[in-house]
Amino acid sequence: MFDLATPHFRENAGTWRAWLTEPAGMVTVMGPGSGSRDASAWIIDHVCVEMRQRLEPPYIYLHDWIRLNKTDSSSRRLIQSWGKTSNAV
């Protein structure tokens, strides 16, 4: 669905994409490939920072990572830790 709209952010040769949404939040699409710590850090350090500068909480997050072949454990831990401390509904 989101592949039809131009992403607000893209990285890693376009395999990491993110859109800011209304109500306030983000959609991330990852893949094809592997979910890495770099991918998680990009969401947290770049996309989330931009979202918080532009939009007011509470936030809604939607992550479409079905195209990923695998994720490494450090990536999962990083994104889970961030998820527990973020202001999401």
Taking only the tens of pLDDT, the chain with its 89 residues reads 566 789 999 998 889 999 999 999 999 999 888 888 999 999 999 999 999 999 999 999 999 999 999 888 999 899 889 988 876 55
Torsion of CA 18, 21, 27, 28, to 10 degrees: 10
What is residue 55's predicted lDDT score, i.e. its pLDDT? Answer: 95
What is residue 44's predicted lDDT score, i.e. its pLDDT? Answer: 94
Place of tokens 């710590």: 37
Give the C-alpha separation, 73 to 53, whole Å: 29
Give the C-alpha separation, 65 to 32, whole Å: 9
Tally the domains of the chain. 1
Q: Which domain holds residue 26?
A: 2-85
Q: 3-state class of 43 per DSSP?
A: helix
